[in-house]
């Protein structure tokens, strides 16, 4: 081989290897004592695990002991959400999940103390429960009567209700955020099918549209981080009209600043609670007609984008109490946090 070709090949190899080492953080397999499909929640320090048996009931495993949380039949499906900073875990119980698939069917929603001292308490029926302000508030959506419920769990307790507009998309998933105890942010679709973000003042019953998309071909996600509100906006796959972008908005004057933009259609699923100055999302790294999706990190305030995985087919990411889990080719893998779920002893506190 000619010397010039050898030098070119060597140069290409160095550049390629350096690029691979820079962008690739290998996804770790999740290690557990039981099948992952049984696990519903693992605490950040792995001191307790909540799992579902084939009989349908929900159990707690901690300090080498097992306790039944909620009794149910084999056709029940549970989901559990929560973080260490919150007072409660939110448990959703869907009856007959394998007999009728309808994401709008109401589920029983329970509060369960993160401290594990107490029983599961039924607080209402609906979908998409969310905890706010370290567990002082909880919200959920009832598609049957088209209402959002917001419960204040601290004294004096109270319940707020908000009516949803009639959307042409019955399966649109509304979401709720609370930057403070007097303000609620709601993401919904208006009667024209356009996604809007509504800011409401609980004390004065005032509302204001702070963001509205231009087309029903676009989707909008929001994430709250230290009272900073972030948006991910993109066209749906197949309707690449506007590309993708991540912005932030000032809740006092509603000025919006673009942090990232791309002509490609990203999947989004923004995660902003894993690291203090970072936002994770699924980015389209394609350079041709074929889409390649991997996890990217947007570092604040530099707005630098870093490719975190190099798998080409990451379809989902989600947080679980300090962990960031990615779904790659249908397999759940750990990207950030402790990958061993085997520990279930109470920490010594030393």
Write out the chain's pLDDT in tens, 350 residues. Answer: 443 333 333 333 333 333 333 455 679 998 887 788 899 999 999 899 999 998 899 999 998 899 999 999 888 999 999 999 999 999 999 988 777 778 889 999 999 999 999 999 999 999 999 999 999 999 999 999 999 999 999 999 999 999 999 988 888 999 999 999 999 999 999 999 999 999 999 988 789 999 999 888 889 999 998 888 999 999 876 665 678 999 999 888 888 999 999 988 999 999 999 999 999 999 999 877 778 999 999 999 999 999 999 999 999 999 999 999 999 988 999 999 888 776 665 544 44
In this predicted model, what pLDDT tens digit does every residue of 194-246 receive, in sequence order? 999 999 999 887 899 999 998 888 899 999 988 889 999 998 766 656 789 99
Instruction: Count other C-beta atoms under 10 Å from residue 63's C-beta.
Output: 11
Instruction: Count other C-beta atoms under 10 Å from residue 61's C-beta.
Output: 17
Q: Are 172 and 150 in contact, with CB atoms under 8 Å apart?
A: no
Consecutive H or E run containing 123: strand 121-132
Residue 53 DSSP symbol = -
Which is it for strands 183-189 and 28-29: parallel, antiparallel or unpaired?
unpaired
Prior bond of 301 cis (ω within 30°): yes
Q: Give the CB-side neighbour count of residue 331, counting CA atoms within 13 A.
A: 10
Q: Give the CB-side neighbour count of residue 87, counting CA atoms within 13 A.
A: 12
In this predicted model, what pLDDT tens digit does every residue of 148-188 receive, in sequence order? 999 999 999 999 999 999 988 888 999 999 999 999 999 99
DSSP calls for 212-246: E-S-TTEEEEEEEETTEEEEEEEEPTT--SS-EEE
Q: The dihedral of CA 202, 207, 209, 215: what is its sign?
A: positive
Give the three-class secondary structure for 316.
Answer: strand
- Give the Cα separation of 313 and 284 in Å (integer): 10
Give the gyration radius of the chain's Cα atoms.
22
Prior bond of 228 cis (ω within 30°): no
- Give the Cα separation of 80 and 93 in Å (integer): 9
């Amino acid at each position: 081989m000619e010397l010039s070709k050898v030098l070119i090949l060597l140069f290409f190899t160095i550049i390629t290897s350096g690029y691979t080492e820079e962008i690739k953080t290998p996804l770790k397999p999740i290690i557990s004592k039981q099948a992952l499909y049984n696990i519903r929640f693992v605490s950040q320090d792995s001191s307790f695990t909540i799992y579902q048996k084939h009989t349908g009931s929900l159990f707690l495993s901690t300090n080498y002991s097992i306790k039944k949380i909620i009794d149910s039949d084999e056709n029940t499906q549970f989901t559990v959400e929560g973080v260490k900073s919150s007072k409660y875990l939110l448990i959703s119980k869907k009856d007959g999940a394998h007999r009728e698939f309808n994401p709008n069917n109401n589920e029983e929603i329970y509060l369960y103390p993160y401290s594990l001292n107490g029983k599961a308490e039924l607080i209402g029926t609906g979908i998409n429960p969310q905890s706010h302000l370290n567990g002082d508030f909880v919200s959920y959506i009832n598609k049957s009567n088209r209402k959002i419920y917001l419960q204040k769990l601290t004294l004096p307790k109270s319940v707020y209700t908000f009516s949803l507009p009639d959307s042409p998309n019955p399966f649109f998933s509304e979401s709720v955020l609370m930057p403070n105890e007097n303000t609620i942010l709601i993401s919904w679709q208006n009667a024209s099918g356009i996604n809007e973000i509504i800011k409401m003042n609980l004390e004065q019953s005032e509302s204001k549209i702070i963001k509205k998309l231009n087309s029903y071909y676009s989707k909008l996600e929001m994430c709250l981080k230290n009272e900073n509100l972030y948006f991910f906006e993109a066209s749906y796959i197949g309707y690449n009209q506007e590309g993708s972008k991540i912005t932030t908005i000032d809740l006092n004057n509603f000025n919006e600043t673009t942090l990232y933009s791309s002509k490609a259609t990203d999947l989004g699923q923004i995660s902003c609670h894993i690291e203090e100055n970072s936002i994770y999302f699924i980015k389209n790294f394609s350079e041709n007609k074929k889409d390649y999706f991997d996890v990217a990190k947007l570092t604040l305030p530099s707005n630098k984008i870093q490719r975190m995985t190099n798998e080409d087919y990451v379809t989902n990411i989600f947080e679980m109490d300090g962990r960031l889990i990615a779904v790659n080719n249908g397999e759940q893998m750990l990207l950030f946090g402790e990958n061993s779920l085997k520990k279930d002893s109470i920490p010594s506190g030393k």
